Every structure is written in structure tokens, then in C-alpha cells.
Amino acid sequence: MLFQFGNVLVFFLVGGGFVFVSLLLNYLLSPKVPTAEKLAPYECGEIPIEGAWTNFNIRFYIIALLFIIFDVEIAFMFPIATIFKEWVKSGSGLLILGEVAVFVLILLLGLAYAWVKGDLEWATKMEFKDKVSGKDIVPGASKVG
């Protein structure tokens, strides 16, 4: 039994050594000629107009999380769908179907919570307590009229 754990230890040591040696070789052999163009943030071929540290709307993050949750759900459901007939033949199909139903129900409750909370709405109304004019928001703005 101790020998089996030794195999796992050797596997981790060889894997970690491979990663370390690869990173070390990359550091030693890569060219290091920094220029202003290379050090500039890359934005899909466009010249950046702001700094790289800008605030993004939280909706991007929430939509990405919802996508990942349902994408992982499909990754879990596909293997079940491929061998479900075998489970039915062995007599445990109803139990597995119940487990899958509970899993999907939990995900649907999460989706309903996000929907009711309004996180799936892309454009929301912004409410202000006081009425403000443009010159209050942007100092020095020209007066109209």
C-alpha cells in the first residue's frame, strides 16, 4: 500500500518538476527587449483610451457566473444521459432520475432567484433622490437656453 502512495508522490514530483523546468527555461531563453508598444495594454488591436484598471459593471460578472453554472450543469448531465439506459435496466433508473430532478430543481431555484432579483435585466433604471442638471454633474458645462 505504501508503494502505491509512492507512485502518486513520484507523479506529483515529476509533474511539478516539469512545470518548474518549463518556466525556468522560458525565463532564461525568452528575449527581453521591452518597448513602449510591448508594455502597453492590448485591447483587441485598438489603441487604449483609458487605463487598464477600469471599473466594469457587475452585470458582466453575474451573467458570466450564470453561464458557467449552466455550462457545468450540461457537463454533469451529459455522462448521465449516456448511461441512463443501463441504470434503468439495472433497476436504479427512478432513483437516478430523482437525483437529477433535485439537481435541476436547485439550479432552477437559483435561476428564479436571479430573475426575481433583476440580475438578468441588462438595462435598469437609475433613480436619483434629487433632480440635478447637467452642470451639477459636469462642472463647467455650458448652460442651454
pLDDT tens readout for residues 109-133? 988 988 888 877 776 665 655 555 4
Q: State how far the Cα of 56 lies from the Cα of 63, in Å rounded to an integer.
A: 13
Q: Which long-range contacts (CB under 8 A, 24 or more apart) does 48-51 make?
A: none
| Listed residue (40, 22, 39) closest to 30, CA to CA | 22
pLDDT digits (tens, 9 = 90+) for 67-107: 888 888 888 888 888 898 999 999 998 999 999 999 999 98
What's the CA gap between 125 and 58, in Å, rounded? 15
Per-residue model confidence (pLDDT) at position 124? 61
pLDDT tens-digit readout, 13-26: 999 999 999 999 99
Average confidence score pLDDT of the chain:
80
CA distance 137 to 141: 9
